[in-house]
A and B are shown apart, each in its own frame.
Chain A
């Protein structure tokens, strides 16, 4: 009995060790991107992951690529957005990675920082249009000057203005969108039109969207809510004048009744519908929500401006997708061939059909501008695009219990701006400390 128990324990120990050892091994080997014929003459299958939010566009892209040649077959696997990071991390640890991942650009750095993606710097430099690629996207995948991702599509937060309501209220779009005071004044005059018309709208209980549309006001003042190098960051909330004034702006919109009452509890599920119904003067959001499936007359009466800061300046959230080749990819050469196809002008020019903005600024020909005028402002001002480089974006901004939403709600709905910022500072610091441990 004693012997068999000891034997069992030995067996269990060996089993645990056997299971643990492969899981413990870390960085996968990088593919040789300098090999002759890399990215030009690959064969076989290319396994590509995309996130569900951009699945439709990727499906169409893959179909066109597969029809364009007969050496490679791209197999697309859509992953639910909320599970993307976890699933990708899991397959990396299991050493069974896809050949290419189309990933939310805000999550790129999580993997780049931990050596999970292939260095694409030299390949990007050889593209011939590297200087036309979205710098905001690239910054999210750049560490120590090396680039580990290439932008594929942009999903930007800008300000959409209902010019018909502006005209009725006697407000000029350009004059009304220069700074926060001008925006508030315009919102007041549009709301004064009466009925259920409101000057502005925001989803007060949708942390992700609020992060998407409110932060650019702060960035336009050349500051951020985070400070320090990635890996040693802290919150930059307390004492940040731009943050305080942005929260005051939203507080005034709420107190003065310049937004619909539903804003208090709106989790984003119905947001945008009132703009599409012509009842909202200004909505800060993205192209797809405002334009796709909307009344063509409303779209025709819409003007787009970048989001201003408290005293001027412009910014927009440079969201969207990056394409990355995981280390350990079996067919990296085929993956790069597909990336080049995705970045070609015909494919980039077609992105607005799916609600997205191209990442190549040289796509903006006169024909393109005439066809997609509402896509143009962020494309022509790519340098104003920004997204925070941090390892804790999701926890700070995309969680309902994160410090961002708590600060926004306490400041805007309770009016405790200073206390909200102090509380947020503690929350930012705590989360960053844990994420960077």
Chain B
């Protein structure tokens, strides 16, 4: 009996009896179809149809004004020689590289600070999460005011500390603008990472740490050997969210620099926006968007695959 059971459980899927499963998968009860129908309809109308429509647009010249003409793969072929787009890709990758790790490290540090149930932790969580709640748009407008030479708080504080003379024009210099925007984003977004990691930390059984204490493990050893390994999935999710957000960065750059000075801070989405709504070339812009969607999907898949592979 036990031999039969072992044989059954170790048998390959192909050799298993499939009648019942085939019946349940390919001929589901009508009620099941009815239950998923609204969701399927929503996805079809609001995701698939626009995606197909966008794909169609990307094979035309589709100006916002004027005649639409089918152009085949012209929009896709010309991407390779579009220097503005290629520059924006490089800048977006640089920006992503700059902000991703600090967001994770700061988010982790904040999570360590607020994960316990001691007094004041809730207040700290709220304070650290507040910038994320306020949102990047509002933060960007505040930063726009506070970065003004001679009058903004950032310059006044730096002048008071004797670091600068208070006249720094942050937003008319590419590296300075990138530093300012990166700093603002790290501050504004790490609250979300904190929240995600904190939830993961609180889910780790207390007994694991008690056992480590008995073995004489230090705080650092516990973080390195217990917390981080057990948070791998949460860290991966935080990274995916952070990287996608950086690859699709738009709001903060639109408000603060609009891609300038020159094209020093033009991100991919900002460039696509300008092709669509400044140059009024929706066909070319949509082709760029399609490429971006594919790239972001691939990057995300690779990230998830890497984590899954290690498990």
What is A's interface to B at a CB cutoff of 8 Å? Answer: 1, 8, 12, 15-16, 19-20, 23-24, 26-27, 85-86, 89-90, 92-93, 110-111, 114-116, 204-205, 261-262, 264-265, 267, 392, 394-395, 399-401, 405-406, 409, 430-431, 434-435, 437
Q: Do A405 and B261 have beta carbons less than 8 Å apart?
A: yes
Report the minimal beta-carbon distance from B310 to chain A, rounded to whole angstroms.
37
Q: Do B261 and A399 have beta carbons less than 8 Å apart?
A: no
Interface positions, chain B 233-276, Cβ under 8 Å from A, are 257-264, 266, 274-275
> Could you tell me the distance between the alpha carbons of A51 and B126 in the complex, rounded to whole angstroms?
42
Contacts of A405 in B (CB 8 A): 260-262
What count of chain B residues pass the 8 Å CB interface test?
41
Most buried by A among B64, B84, B278, B279: B278
Q: Do A401 and B83 have beta carbons less than 8 Å apart?
A: no
Q: Do A205 and B278 have beta carbons less than 8 Å apart?
A: no
Most buried by B among A110, A401, A435: A401
Report the minimal beta-carbon distance from A434 to chain B, rounded to whole angstroms.
6
User: Given contacts A16-B49, A405-B261, is CB(A205)–CB(B172) below 8 Å?
Assistant: yes
Report the minimal beta-carbon distance from B110 to chain A, rounded to whole angstroms.
34
Q: Do A395 and B278 have beta carbons less than 8 Å apart?
A: yes
Q: Do A400 and B260 have beta carbons less than 8 Å apart?
A: yes
Q: Do B172 and A264 have beta carbons less than 8 Å apart?
A: yes
Nearest B residue to A261 via CB reads: B167
Q: Do B169 and A205 have beta carbons less than 8 Å apart?
A: yes
Nearest B residue to A406 via CB reads: B262
Contacts of A116 in B (CB 8 A): 65-66
Determine if B44 is an interface residue (Cβ-Cβ < 8 Å): yes
> Could you tell me the distance between the alpha carbons of A420 and B274 in the complex, rounded to whole angstroms?
23
Q: Do A265 and B44 have beta carbons less than 8 Å apart?
A: no
A-B CB proximity, top 3 nearest: A400-B260, A265-B169, A114-B66
Q: A27, A111, A265, A434: which contacts B279 (Cβ < 8 A)?
A: A434
Q: Do B49 and A399 have beta carbons less than 8 Å apart?
A: no
User: Given contacts A8-B44, A12-B44, A26-B68, is CB(A399)–CB(B61) below 8 Å?
Assistant: no
Q: Do A400 and B277 have beta carbons less than 8 Å apart?
A: no
Determine if B171 is an interface residue (Cβ-Cβ < 8 Å): yes
User: Given contacts A12-B49, A400-B257, is CB(A265)–CB(B171) below 8 Å?
Assistant: yes
Determine if B134 is an interface residue (Cβ-Cβ < 8 Å): no
Contacts of B83 in A (CB 8 A): 430
Q: A26, A262, A400: which contacts B66 (Cβ < 8 A)?
A: A26
Q: Do B259 and A110 have beta carbons less than 8 Å apart?
A: no
7 contacts between A and B (CB under 8 A): A1-B26, A20-B53, A26-B66, A93-B65, A116-B66, A400-B259, A435-B279
Q: A85, A204, A267: which contacts B280 (Cβ < 8 A)?
A: A85
Report the minimal beta-carbon distance from B199 to chain A, rounded to whole angstroms.
39
Contacts of A431 in B (CB 8 A): 279
Determine if B311 is an interface residue (Cβ-Cβ < 8 Å): no
Nearest B residue to A114 via CB reads: B66
Q: Do B52 and A16 have beta carbons less than 8 Å apart?
A: yes
Q: A89, A265, A401, A430: which contacts B260 (Cβ < 8 A)?
A: A401
Determine if B102 is an interface residue (Cβ-Cβ < 8 Å): no
Q: Do A89 and B278 have beta carbons less than 8 Å apart?
A: no
Contacts of A262 in B (CB 8 A): 149-150
Interface positions, chain B 16-61, Cβ under 8 Å from A, are 26-27, 44, 48-49, 52-53, 56, 61
Determine if B190 is an interface residue (Cβ-Cβ < 8 Å): no
Q: Do B280 and A15 have beta carbons less than 8 Å apart?
A: no
